[in-house]
Chains A and B, each alone.
Chain A
Amino acid sequence: MSIRTARALLTLWVILTVVFVATRMSGDTIDFLLPEGTDPDSRAAMVQYLGLDRSILEQYAIYVRELLGGHFGLSFYERRPVEVIYLERLGPSLALYASALTLAIVLGMPLGIVAALKRNTALARGIMTAAFLGYAIPNFVLAILLLLIFSFHLGWLPSAGAATPAHYVMPTLAVGSVLLAAVVRFTRSSMLDVLSQDYLRTARAKGVSERVLVLRHALRNALIPILTVIGLQVTNVLGAAVIIETVFAWPGLGEQIVLATIRRDYPTLQFGVLGFAAVVVTVNLAVDLLYSVVDPRVRVGG
């Protein structure tokens, strides 16, 4: 196990502990759970049933022991294992992330390349202005504006749910817009950097066709900063998706987390935060490892 992996695990453990202690610090969970006017006996029975009468240390020990055995806790509301609740919602969320990421890469990289190759033309300026707007408009505002135009004004697209491909259009745009803009901007600047290098002049001088030059020689070298940006943006994309899922009633992970927050369903919230943190940590590790695939000169130490 490399040092890098150990650090990632340590980070996750600290997050787990902080989240656990923090959620136990507010003692009124039970009052959110029970209807007003519950008699004290029932209340006490419920507190005991949920294990909230034990000391924090005891609760923590039980939590960690169960965690190591693969049990992540039961939702306060649904009395089902939280991992089962999230598992049901994993599919739609993954589909949304995947389509947003695909949009950003498939559309963003060509646009960035075009903006670099045709710089100082109206086309390039148009692309960069659009990218700046994409960067500046907050995801949920974009979602609302899209809803207003395409669902309520034109009536073209459905406003909630995840049933058909048409349901994907607006959520994908709303989640992916910032990432798309980032990919366009960084592809452009990265390509501009690479295009002025000596080895490209050499390649051109020896008669490499422009297509091969751009796609094989330039793009490959421009990929590293682009990858970094995608890695850095993962946190933002996941954060944005949480809100966008709520806007479009998308049956995904984010909507569940917001619901758990509103209901004070701590076991569910806890697992959600931990799960997202695990994903971000893993993705950053993966990006580190991908560097060495894209560029053999980079060797990940540790």
Chain B
Amino acid sequence: MTLAFPSIAEADRRPGRALKAWRRIPLGIRLCFLVVALMVLAAALAPWVSPMDPDHQSLLSRLRPPVGFDRAKAGYLLGTDQLGRDVLSRCIHGLTVTLGMAALGATISLTLGTGLGLLSGYVGGRVDDAIMAVVDIQIAVPFTLVALLVVAIAGTGIEVLILVLGIAYWEQYARIVRGQVLALRSLPFVEAGRAIGMSNSRLLFRHILPNVASPIIVQATLVISNLILLESSLSFLGLGIQPPTASLGSMVGQGRDYMASAPWIVAAPALLIVAVALVVLLIGDWLRDSLDVRLSD
């Protein structure tokens, strides 16, 4: 009898698999993923999808309200700002900056935190003490203040902002990874690996790291939403992204002076920040539940 059962490897590659996995995700979360995908797409294609040049000023049509209100100007869907720039186009470009910064910061903190966490948990001893002492210090100071300090010393610049975002939340990864490594280190599969003469790096990166992956992924979504907020807060204070480049936060900050007469300048980017933070957090929450990861807080 020659019944052909697909092997597990083949089953993995069956086209319907991804679709089935997608269907298992609750509807609300699927929506969130779609929204995130849309936002990333809009951010990545900002120069092509935004209706106008975000920096083009037309002083004759300043402070025009969004479509549907009195004095609205055709073609300016979300109105114009104090210099007659298109709010919608600025929002889309601001989203690019905000998401890009958050992604960069998240990559740096993930690499830094995971690396130091692995080192701390695996090597132990003095190295562990030193790294954990730095973690303690970072926890003791509200990060907003660290950020202010760095900006005061190094000035406002995009490199400084990336640095600030990169060091903001590394300690969360470090703590989680260290805890997991400590738990994994004494398990039989690690001992077995060591017994057959595996090198430390192979053991760490091929065998221990994959087992720490799910808490890292969950943490990463939380960190990204925190980074979006941090970047927005700093830019809002005028200490992050500098004009003429705009992030969502700096748009809110600069629009503050016009809140009484032109609330849309502030409302549009503010609501967009809320939307981004919300969908990322919802996905993070769902991931945590479905990967069944227990985090310290």
Contacts and interface: CB of A to CB of B under 8 A. Distances in A.
Interface of A: 7, 11-12, 14-15, 18-19, 22-23, 25-26, 132-133, 135-141, 144-145, 147-148, 152-153, 229, 232, 235-236, 238-240, 242-243, 246-247, 257-258, 260-262, 264, 266, 269, 272-273, 276-277, 280-281, 284
Interface string B255-287: 010011001001100110110011001100100
B144 A242 contact: yes
Contacts of A148: 259, 263, 266-267
Interface in B233-271: 233, 236-239, 252, 256, 259-260, 263, 266-267, 270-271
Interface of B: 133, 136-137, 139-146, 148-149, 151-155, 225, 229, 232-233, 236-239, 252, 256, 259-260, 263, 266-267, 270-271, 273-274, 277-278, 281-282, 285, 297
Contacts of B281: 132, 135-136
Contacts of B252: 140-141, 144
A254 to B, nearest CB: 8
A19 B175 CA distance: 24
B277 A15 contact: no
Given A152-B260, A269-B148, A269-B152, A140 B233 contact: yes
Nearest to B296: A232
Contacts of A135: 281
A144 B256 contact: yes
Interface of A is mostly: helix
Nearest to B148: A261
A243 B140 CA distance: 18
A276 B141 contact: yes
Nearest to B143: A239
Nearest to A18: B137
B139 A258 contact: no
Given A11-B136, A140-B232, A266-B152, A277 B141 contact: yes
B232 A147 contact: no
Contacts, number: 129
A90 B204 CA distance: 49
Contact of A153 (B133, B152, B154, B263): B263
A19 B256 CA distance: 32
Contact of B142 (A25, A266, A280): A280
A141 B274 contact: yes
A273 B277 contact: no
A14 B142 CA distance: 15
A140 B274 CA distance: 11
A244 to B, nearest CB: 10
Contact of A229 (B260, B273, B297): B297
Contacts of B270: 141, 144-145
B266 A138 contact: no
Contacts of A147: 259
Given A141-B274, A152-B263, 4 more contacts: A132-B282, A145-B274, A235-B140, A238-B142
Contacts of A137: 274, 277-278
A14 B137 contact: yes
A22 B274 contact: no
Contacts of A257: 145, 148
Given A258-B148, A261-B239, A243 B233 contact: yes
B277 A136 contact: yes
Nearest to A246: B237
Contacts of A22: 149, 153
A289 B80 CA distance: 55
A257 B145 CA distance: 8
A242 B142 contact: yes
Contacts of B145: 239, 242, 257, 272-273, 276-277
